[in-house]
Amino acid sequence: MMNIAVFASGTGSNFDAIMRAVEAGDLDVNVALLVCDKIGAPVIEKAQNYQVDTVVFTPKLYGNKAAYEHALLKDCESRNIDLIVLAGYMRLIGPTLLKPFEKRIINIHPSLLPAFPGKDAIGQAFQSKVKVTGVTVHFVDEGMDTGPIIDQEAVRIEDGDTEEDVQTKIQCVEHELYPRVIQSLLVKEESTK
């Protein structure tokens, strides 16, 4: 079975959705590791409740990005991680992780990329008054939300929707889309063996 590591910085609702999909038998992976860069982030407690091995690190305690990514690379290699799943991880991935994990790091972003990359994508969409936004899952490259798109799903912004309404709709889509995309990558991987 494929081993995945989830990297997250915050609430962890997508981490939770992945774990629920695994428990339901809809996603055939072993979530072998949760990596978090924020002490006290709610996702850490979620991982502990699911008894997922957890690495919490403080980037400032390392000299530079290459140094902490080298440590994370070792954490992933020692657990035979096949795929890194970013779920609200608020840092760009550097070459130390990107090179050994080429095409094996994915991210979920709350907009229809290439529209509204970067922070607060939902707020950006809401303020720009678009009628359709959505969710994108993509491979990670060195840019900010720029790698090849794997799948997308649209979310309509109705007249009268508040920003919170849009956020709720986006999260519902994310929690269903991310486990499904991960599962589809496994199927592709199997068929190329």
Q: Are 107 and 145 in contact (CB under 8 A)?
A: yes
Q: According to DSSP H, which parts of the chain are helical?
A: 13-24, 42-49, 65-78, 95-98, 121-128, 163-191
**Which lies closer to ligand GRF via its Cβ, residue 23 or residue 190?**
23
**Which lies closer to ligand GRF via its Cβ, residue 67 or residue 144?**
144
How far apart are alpha carbons 8 and 26 in whole angstroms? Answer: 22
**Which lies closer to ligand GRF via its Cβ, residue 67 or residue 90?**
90
DSSP 61: G
109 included as an active-site residue? yes
Task: Please list every residue from 74 through 93 that binds ligand GRF, using CB under 6 A.
Answer: 87-88
**Which residue's C-beta sits nearest to ligand GRF?**
88
Contact with ligand GRF (CB under 6 A): which of 12, 134, 147, 179? 12
DSSP 148: P
Cβ-Cβ contacts under 8 Å for 44 (sequence gap 6 or more): 12, 34, 36, 54, 56
β-partners of residue 45 are none
- If binding is defined by CB under 6 A, does position 183 make contact with ligand GRF? no
Counting residues that bind ligand GRF (by CB under 6 A) gives 12
The piece of 9-17, 27-35, 48-56, 72-80 that touches ligand GRF (CB under 6 A) is: 9-17
How far apart are alpha carbons 36 and 192 in whole angstroms? Answer: 32
The piece of 60-68, 106-114, 156-164, 182-190 that touches ligand GRF (CB under 6 A) is: 106-114
- If binding is defined by CB under 6 A, does position 146 make contact with ligand GRF? no
- If binding is defined by CB under 6 A, does position 147 make contact with ligand GRF? no
